[in-house]
Amino acid sequence: MSAAFYVSSLIEILHYITDDLLQCDAGTTLGELFSDDFDDLDFELALTCFEATHKLAFKESVWKTDLEGFEELTLEEFVEQNLNPKEQTDPLFVTKRFLFYEKSLTDGLREEYEGPPREDAE
């Protein structure tokens, strides 16, 4: 498959999970995606859905790097530079990815619910 196909697929996923509120194309930078209505968890969900759909993984560096490190990349550049084109054959690949996302979501919700740690707390 061509990179253009995968970029188009990621864009469709982004549109779908945001109920078409997020409008973007291959030339949209990652930094332009984020707003009050679209955050890093939404982007992580899109990447997880993409990986599950295509049985392709993004490089581990994507999951270990803050998104700020990718803000200047367009969606096309992001996919071209960070997608591992080798099909995943691990039968638990999708399960592992969604469990990884679940942990991120749980951590995000806990942080939002509990708020930042108080400075006077020991």
Q: What is the pLDDT of residues 7-34, one digit of tens each?
A: 999 999 999 999 999 999 999 999 999 9
DSSP letter string over 5-20? HHHHHHHHHHHHHTTT
- The residue ranking higher by pLDDT, 2 or 80, is 80
**Per-residue pLDDT reduced to its tens digit, 53-97:** 999 999 988 988 888 889 999 999 999 999 998 989 988 888 988
The greatest distance separating any two alpha carbons of the chain, rounded to the nearest whole angstrom, comes to: 55
Each domain of the chain, given as residue ranges in start order, spans 3-114
Q: What is the pTM of this model?
A: 0.82
Phi-psi region of 38 (alpha: psi -120 to 50; beta: other; left: phi over 0): beta
Note the pLDDT of residue 100. 83
Note the pLDDT of residue 32. 95
- For 29, the enclosing helix (H) or strand (E) is none
